[in-house]
Amino acid sequence: MKIETKKLVYISMLVTQAMILSYIETMLPAIPIQGAKLGLANIATVLALSTLNFRSCLFIVVARTLLTGLLFGNMASIIYSITGGLLSLLAMYIIMKLFGNTLSLVSVSIVGSIFHNLGQLGIAVLILENTRLLILLPYLFLIAIPTGLFVGIVSKYLLSYLSKNHFNYKN
Amino acid sequence: MKKKDLILIGSILIIAMVGLLISYIYGQTDKELKVVITVNGEIYREIPFDETTNEKITVEYEGNLNIVEIKEGHVVISEANCPDQICVHTSPADEKGEMIVCLPNKVIVEVTSNE
């Protein structure tokens, strides 16, 4: 029971961390390409994927996008961020499952960043009914490299701290 | 960072470069250019576009406002009431295929050609 409480608190902390990071990101200057984001909240997703099972990760992503959207955004921003968030979660989960031993966390978060951007652009294409928006794709791939690197490196440092303190519920 | 990571980053870079090259080739055209402003999936206005075009268009739709400025061979959104202001900070469009997008206001400004 004691362990369960610790896990519950840990999950809540990750949701809160992601929300705060999303909020901080709105104060930073935006990347002037539609669909591209620094994706600081992705740090929480990467941490979750490394320490929790998939169901908890899914819960964290859905909870943080809904809460952030309700607090700081609107219906449209919820649709964009939930698609981006879920797609990037799925991509990172699959990459970790398949190549977890050969690729580091940096690669995982770069792939996550690409799929986050892809999801957002996909929704934009659907909402604006304009497939020529896909011309932005190469820029989104390029932007994903530095943002993914940043998120991956931060997550790596946080993770070494977390594992020292036995925050690991992978099994 | 492992060796495989660098390979992954390298392949992403190559994919992006190929994409940029394709969009660059697509942008080369002798045809006359025009600026098309689309709001919520419907064409709002079409303006013939060359070096001498000098226009300021106010796009108003459901209380949303974007001001599109065309001058000196460039197109910019100079003002908008959207929350993120990404459209205002997007670099000016001047070649075929380039576009400025304002997602919150559902406005797309794109340079295209008559075909």
Query: Taking 70 as the threshold, does the pLDDT of residue A171 lie above it?
Result: no
pLDDT per residue over B32-52, tens digit each? 888 889 888 888 888 888 888
Concatenated DSSP letters of B16-66: HHHHHHHHHHHH---SPEEEEEEETTEEEEEEEESTT--EEEEEEETTEEE
Query: What pLDDT sits at residue A86?
Result: 94
Q: Which of B5, B19, B38 sits opposite A106 (nearest CB)?
A: B5
pLDDT per residue over A118-163, tens digit each? 998 898 888 888 888 888 888 889 989 999 999 999 999 999 888 8
Query: What pLDDT sits at residue B103?
Result: 84
Mean pLDDT value across chain A: 87
- Is residue A92 situated within a structural domain? yes
CATH of the domain at A86: 1.10.1760.20
Q: Report the DSSP beta bridge partners of residue B35.
A: B47, B111
Query: What pLDDT sits at residue A124?
Result: 86
- Contact, A144 vs A112, CB < 8 A? no
The order of strands in the sheet holding B55-61 is B55-61, B64-71, B74-80
ipTM: 0.78
Nearest CA to A34 out of B68, B75, B112, B108 is that of B108
- Contact, B80 vs B88, CB < 8 A? yes
Count of domains for chain A:
1
Query: Taking 90 as the threshold, does the pLDDT of residue B106 lie above it?
Result: no
- Is residue A31 situated within a structural domain? yes
Query: Taking 80 as the threshold, does the pLDDT of residue B2 lie above it?
Result: no
Query: Taking 90 as the threshold, does the pLDDT of residue A5 lie above it?
Result: no
Helix (H) or strand (E) holding B74: strand B74-80
> Taking chain A, what is the end-to-end CA distance rounded to the nearest angstrom?
16
- Contact, A116 vs A84, CB < 8 A? yes
A108 Cβ neighbours under 8 A, 6+ residues apart: A46, A49, A92, A95, A96, A152
Q: How far apart are CA A112 and CA B93, in angstroms?
A: 29
- Measured in whole angstroms, the distance separating CA B76 from the mean position of its chain's CA atoms is 8
The answer to whether the predicted template modeling score (pTM) of the entire model surpasses 0.95 is: no
3-state SS class at A100: coil
Torsions phi, psi for B53 (to 5 deg): -60, 130
- Of all residues in chain B, the one with the smallest CA distance to A133 is B99
* Inter-chain CB proximity B12 and A130 less than 8 Å: no
Lowest-pLDDT range, A3-12, A91-100, A142-151?
Answer: A3-12
Instruction: Tell me which residues of chain B, numbers 24 to 43, contact chain A at a CB-CB cutoff of 8 Å.
Output: 26, 38, 40-41
Residue B6 at interface with chain A, using a CB cutoff of 8 Å: no
Query: What pLDDT sits at residue B89?
Result: 86
Query: Taking 60 as the threshold, does the pLDDT of residue A1 lie above it?
Result: no
Query: What pLDDT sits at residue A3?
Result: 61
B31-113 to CATH, choices 2.40.160.10, 2.60.320.10, 1.10.1740.10, 2.60.40.3140: 2.60.320.10
- Contact, A41 vs A64, CB < 8 A? yes
Which chain A residues are within 8 Å of B23, Cβ to Cβ?
135, 138
Q: How far apart are CA A44 and CA A11, in angstroms?
A: 10
**Domain region containing A100:** 2-164
- Is residue A170 situated within a structural domain? no
Q: How far apart are CA A145 and CA B9, in angstroms?
A: 7
* pLDDT range class, residue A16, cuts 50, 70, 90: very high
Query: What pLDDT sits at residue A87?
Result: 94
Domain ranges of chain B: 1-30, 31-113
- Is residue A73 situated within a structural domain? yes
Q: How far apart are CA B73 and CA A59, in angstroms?
A: 49
Helix (H) or strand (E) holding B102: strand B99-102
Query: Taking 80 as the threshold, does the pLDDT of residue A31 lie above it?
Result: no
Query: What pLDDT sits at residue B113?
Result: 83
Q: Which of B1, B13, B38 sits opposite A130 (nearest CB)?
A: B38
Query: Taking 90 as the threshold, does the pLDDT of residue B30 lie above it?
Result: no
Residue type, A27: M
* Inter-chain CB proximity B23 and A76 less than 8 Å: no
* Inter-chain CB proximity A103 and B1 less than 8 Å: no
Min Cα distance B110 → chain A (Å) is 9
Query: What pLDDT sits at residue A95?
Result: 92
Query: What pLDDT sits at residue B17?
Result: 92
Query: What pLDDT sits at residue A91?
Result: 95
* Inter-chain CB proximity A106 and B108 less than 8 Å: no
Query: Taking 80 as the threshold, does the pLDDT of residue A11 lie above it?
Result: yes
Residue B5 at interface with chain A, using a CB cutoff of 8 Å: yes
Min Cα distance B30 → chain A (Å) is 20
Query: What pLDDT sits at residue A19?
Result: 93
* pLDDT range class, residue B85, cuts 50, 70, 90: confident
